Structure formats: structure tokens, C-alpha cells
């Protein structure tokens, strides 16, 4: 007979932890939509610094990874290209040379 007690306890703990964190408060973004609107080049820069922004956002609530007040899909395209550059650079080092 298999021991199913440990997986059941883990799933129960996971369920209750998701239940507790799902009660987060919603932040109003109207204050964020004032001021400068960020475009393609800012999206590219924000994409490049994403790993550093993420680490800083863990310690400071004022730091965000993604600019809410942006120009739409131009900013998104720049952010996507910028953040994709990190994976591209890491992928080149792992190729075998022969």
C-alpha cells in the first residue's frame, strides 16, 4: 500500500497558501497615468534592465519592472526585444563548439 499522506498534505498547504495570497488589495493606477508617456526606446531600456529592476523591486515598493504610462504596443515591442536580449546572450554561451 502506497503512502498518499505526504502529497495530500503538500497539496493542502499549497491550496491554503494560494487562498491567503489571493486576497491582495487592488492598487489604483490613475496616479500613475500622469506625466511622461514612455515609448519604444524606453521599453527597450526597461527590457534590458528587467533582471536588476526585479531584484530592486523585492526590496523597494517604489521600483516597478514595467511602466504603466506607456505608448502602447511600441513600448511593449521595445520591452519584449530588450528583455529577450538576456536570453539570447545566455543561449550563445551554452552552444557546443566542435
4 in a domain, yes or no?
Answer: no
47 in a domain, yes or no?
Answer: yes
Which residues on adjacent β-strands are paired with residue 70?
Answer: 38
22 in a domain, yes or no?
Answer: no
HSE (side-chain half, CA atoms, 13 Å) at 76: 2
To the nearest whole percent, how much of the chain has pLDDT over 90? 2
The pLDDT score that the predictor gives to residue 76 is 87
Work out the mean pLDDT of the chain and round it to a whole number.
Answer: 77
The string of pLDDT tens digits covering residues 63-93 is 888 888 888 889 888 888 888 865 555 555 5
DSSP 78-97: HHHHHHHHHHHHHHHHTSPP
Is the pLDDT at 28 greater than 70? The verdict is no
Residue numbers of the domain that contains 85: 35-93
Spatial CB neighbours of 98, under 8 Å, sequence gap ≥ 6: none
Is the pLDDT at 57 greater than 70? The verdict is yes
Q: How many structural domains does the chain have?
A: 1
Q: Residues 69, 37: contact at Cβ < 8 Å?
A: yes
The pLDDT score that the predictor gives to residue 67 is 83
60 in a domain, yes or no?
Answer: yes
81 in a domain, yes or no?
Answer: yes
Q: How far apart are the first and last CA of the chain?
A: 51
Amino acid at each position: 500500500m502506497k503512502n498518499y499522506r505526504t502529497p495530500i498534505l503538500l497539496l493542502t498547504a499549497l491550496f491554503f497558501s494560494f487562498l491567503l495570497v489571493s486576497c491582495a488589495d487592488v492598487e489604483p493606477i490613475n496616479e500613475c497615468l500622469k506625466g511622461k508617456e514612455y515609448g519604444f526606446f524606453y521599453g527597450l531600456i526597461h527590457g534590458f534592465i528587467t533582471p536588476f529592476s526585479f531584484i530592486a523591486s523585492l526590496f523597494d515598493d517604489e521600483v516597478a519592472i514595467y511602466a504603466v504610462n506607456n505608448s502602447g504596443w511600441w513600448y511593449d515591442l521595445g520591452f519584449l526585444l530588450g528583455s529577450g536580449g538576456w536570453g539570447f546572450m545566455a543561449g550563445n554561451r551554452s552552444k557546443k563548439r566542435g
